Structure 1
Amino acid sequence: MHDTDGTNSRRFGLPTAVALVMGNIIGGGIFLLPASVAPFGTVSLLAFGVLTIGAIALALVFGRLAERHPRTGGPYVYAREAFGDFAGFLSAWSYWTMTWVSNAALAVAGVGYFHVVTGGTSSKGADLAVALAALWLPALANLAGTRWVGAIQLISTVLKFLPLLFVAIVGLFYFDPANLGAFTEGGGNWTGGLTASAAILLYSYVGVESAAMSAGEVRDPERNVGRASVLGTIGAAVVYLLGTLSVFGAVPHDKLVKSTAPFSDAVDTMFGGHWGGTLIAAAAVISIMGALNGWTLMSAQAPYAAAKDGLFPASFGKKRRGVPTVGVLAAAVLASLLTLVNYTLGEGGVFEILVLITTFSATVPYLLAAAAQVYFLLTDRRDKVRMDRLVRDMVLALGAFAFSFWLVAGAGYAAIYQGVLFLFVGILVYAWMAARRPVPGATQEDAPEAAEPVAEAVRQ
């Protein structure tokens, strides 16, 4: 049964669903990526290619899963259908944690770009005000309904995609192989450089699940979720790969390694002057606001689906104008509190610890979704399933699982440690919610009798 809160006219068409995926994948990190991976040499381009293949495999798996279960909640729904309530809750809890913490990080990252565009001065008070505005403007757009969310996402994706694609394509005409530097820098072997650069690039494709997460708001989700996931991932990959290649070829390697604004340096190299910084900063602001618009919606979808099944508080399961309002408000409030922590107690490292948690939390739903697809394929009893499609889907599912596992490994020991601790906190929430759920078919008179075996076991 489809999740049909709201009228069909409020649902996302394919272009908007593609924009949701692409807009959530491309945040603010793209503007620093070329400089981040430049120290490893051009082997990082190979790492990007490998990661792109893994991300597309994951996108295809989400499309297949949405054909089976075209409901809002995406990875949460698949994990619960395959492995039960507890696995579903862990997926929803991890995803929810990742969204509101990463929203705070995005808002903080956008402050610097905003000051470049406006020419304003930086101070703690002004920075905090800008960061909070970056959180609450997308929240208000979400509260206005899915029509506003879809329109803003489509417009912001086009506005940020065009300048990035412009730099990526025009930069090829200014490409100078002498600027590339060595295939592997520092004298190491290429496999070491591949792994090291991949560890930085791994989270570039987080957001590939966005259409699946909002399947209930997508028209004809059985077809369009898969298409949007793949097309959005490919669109982001084009910007990533061509953009990084163009910057590598336009900016001398020794300058690129030290650059704090590689795309701006590329524009200045191509056209002269120093206006490139303002142009790219404006694109970054639009990119981050578009990502915040999409991720604010994502922050409400997992708890919404879990609340419908009694695994999150019931208030998270109510929609208005097609949007789970309590989920949107809760994420905005929590992200605002974390932003306040960043600007008042940032020196204590609290913000950095929570960001580490998100890097691990993002991978848990991916692993569970990929494993769910393996489970569905192994237990599928439909007589009409063709062997060639079964084999192809199994290869994709195993590839998506391997990609997700690589994401976990790339998070690093600190991220996994902090993330697992926070995951364990969620177990208490699950225990509380599970205890509040009525036992199917049980009455109040049955409750003492049902408790007797447990009490007897404890006494023994």
Structure 2
Amino acid sequence: MKQSNHKMGVVQLTILTVVNMMGSGIVLLPTKLAQIGTISIFSWLITASGSVALAYAFAKCGRFSKNTGGMGGYAEYSFGKSGNFMANYTYAVSLVIANVAIAITAVGYFSTFMGWQLGPFDAAFLAIIFIWLTTIPNFWGARITGRVGSVTVWGVILPVLGISLIGWFWFDPDIYTASWNPHNEPFGQAISASIAITLWAFLGLESACANTDAVENPEKNVPIAVLFGTLLTAVLYILSTNVVAGIIPNADLANSNAPFGLVFSYLFSPVIGQVINALTVIACLGSLLGWQFTVAQVFKAGADEGYYVPLFGKVTSRNAPVIGMVVLAIAQTMLSLMTVSPDLSTQFNAIVNLAVVTNLVPYILSMSAIIVLLKSAQVPQKQVLFVAAIAFIGNIYSFYALYSSGQEAMFWGGLVTFAGWVLYGKIVSTKYDLRQPY
């Protein structure tokens, strides 16, 4: 009993799940969804359902998998070493892309805070500055990074939670209905247009299943916490974005680079709005600081497995993969320049769609391998069938999200994925004895 006192209960894990998922992904969503209209509430409902299915299946994977390596380990049950590689490779690439999106989010709020009107290259240059400012501190190891991120994330959570609770006192149904479908898009097209952007807010849901060893009665509590944590996060996302859409006229909201700062300015004063903008910038930079270290660690782990060139695995005396961090920051710099667009919103949309496409590859591989995974753990047949059905729903949603991400994102995502197969076939597979069973 004494040992269990040091472990998390289901309530603590549920809260941790919500905090882990509510990073910087939400803070530009009111603007992006306003460009579609409040009809996007249907996209939220579809994405929330798909995300809950994925989260529940990942909870079961984390509970019963005997392989290390997260989603790569899950995929290996059905697809062998090549599946493990592809899941980890596409996930790592998606994190690199997502970091650029976080930097662009910070640029939007920072430029609003400073009162700047940035041109396309000015915005890209500032994003690059943020990328390097959040890379260099990680050279000294993870201790500071972890402490900073655990504090700065509240700069996003508190405004989102606050507007979800008190914003309804200012909610105007007429403003909301006037924003329903401002461009008169067909229903199916309008819903599809906002699927990828809503999924962006849930990316990372698989990481909520990584605390099995620190939880009391994990077989029961981890799925419950992940399920309700994802549901609670979905509720907060839906409430916050829709209440904002009923306070600020659609034209103003759709053209804002800092929607949460804008709504607090509407409700209280420009000063309060500026405080929210500052908190959001700090939260985004804190999130980016943590993700820069995380993505370097993902590449380091891959290098240790022989998936990437050895330089990603080299560490300093502080156990920091500095060379890998520099290479990844250069890649993010190049991506920032390659995606320069007339406005931040367009650039953000292109980056998010590509991040979603690459992140869905390991989701699909993991969901497709779940039957073999559960059977290898000798899970009862009835439970296998139930979890497999949930995972199949997650797969259906994943393919719909791929379709909704658009042809351009699918094109570039496809090129990235096929490049991974080339890397595996020419380099990685030679490191394994392919005659041996996986």
Q: Which residue of 2 aligns with 1:373?
A: 370
Q: What displacement does 1:84 show? A: 0.8
Q: Which residue of 2 aligns with 1:394?
A: 388
Picking from 267, 270, 274, the partner of 2:270 is 274
Instruction: Give the counterpart letter for 1:264 in structure 2.
Output: G
Q: Which residue of 2 aligns with 1:105?
A: 101
Q: Which residue of 1 aligns with 2:413?
A: 419
Q: Which residue of 2 aligns with 1:364?
A: 361
Report the more deviating stretch, 396-405 or 192-201.
Answer: 192-201
Q: Structure 2: how far apart are the matches of 1:350 and 1:235? A: 29
Q: What displacement does 1:274 show? A: 2.5
Q: Is the 8 A contact 2:25 2:102 kept in 1?
A: no
Q: Which residue of 2 aligns with 1:36?
A: 32
The answer to whether 1:338 aligns with 2:332 is no
Instruction: Give the counterpart letter for 2:234 in structure 1.
Output: A
Unaligned runs of at least 5 residues, structure 1: 1-10, 443-460
Q: Which residue of 1 aligns with 2:78?
A: 82
Q: Is the 8 A contact 1:165 1:239 kept in 2?
A: yes
Q: Which residue of 2 aligns with 1:205?
A: 202
Q: Which has the larger radius of gyration?
A: 1
Q: Is the 8 A contact 1:304 1:324 kept in 2?
A: yes
Instruction: Give the counterpart letter for 1:159 in structure 2.
Output: G
Picking from 113, 117, 120, the partner of 2:113 is 117
Q: Which residue of 1 aligns with 2:244?
A: 247
Q: Is the 8 A contact 2:200 2:352 kept in 1?
A: no
Q: What displacement does 1:337 show? A: 3.8
Instruction: Give the counterpart letter for 1:248 in structure 2.
Output: A
Q: Structure 1: how far apart are the matches of 2:158 and 2:347? A: 36
Q: Structure 1: how far apart are the matches of 2:222 and 2:149? A: 16
Instruction: Give the counterpart letter for 2:306 in structure 1.
Output: G
Q: What displacement does 1:317 show? A: 4.5
Q: Structure 1: how far apart are the matches of 2:242 and 2:249? A: 12
Deviation sequence 1:26-76 (CA, Å, 0-9, x none)? 455533322332354433223212211211221121111111237663212
Report the more deviating stretch, 44-53 or 72-81.
Answer: 72-81
Q: Is the 8 A contact 2:44 2:198 kept in 1?
A: yes
Q: Structure 2: how far apart are the matches of 1:305 and 1:87? A: 16
Instruction: Give the counterpart letter for 2:172 in structure 1.
Output: D
Give the aligned length: 426
Q: What displacement does 1:219 show? A: 11
Q: Which residue of 1 aligns with 2:234?
A: 237
Picking from 388, 399, 418, the partner of 1:405 is 399
Q: Is the 8 A contact 1:213 1:298 kept in 2?
A: no
Deviation sequence 1:226-248 (CA, Å, 0-9, x none)? 57754653453233111112112
Deviation sequence 1:362-391 (CA, Å, 0-9, x none)? 2111111111113324xx1666x3454333
Deviation sequence 1:269-311 (CA, Å, 0-9, x none)? 322x323541332233133223313422442344344334322
Q: Is the 8 A contact 1:76 1:302 kept in 2?
A: no
Aligned pair in 2 of structure 1 residues 47, 341: CA closer, same or farther (>3 Å)?
closer
Deviation sequence 1:97-156 (CA, Å, 0-9, x none)? 211122123223322322333457858997666434422343345444444333222212
Q: What displacement does 1:421 show? A: 1.5
The answer to whether 1:303 aligns with 2:296 is no
Q: Is the 8 A contact 2:353 2:406 kept in 1?
A: no
Aligned pair in 2 of structure 1 residues 206, 416: CA closer, same or farther (>3 Å)?
same
Give the alignment of 1:53-202 within 5 angstroms: 53-69=49-65, 73-118=69-114, 130-181=126-177, 184=181, 190-202=187-199
RMSD: 4.2
Deviation sequence 1:186-205 (CA, Å, 0-9, x none)? 55664454333335423232
TM-score by length of 2: 0.79
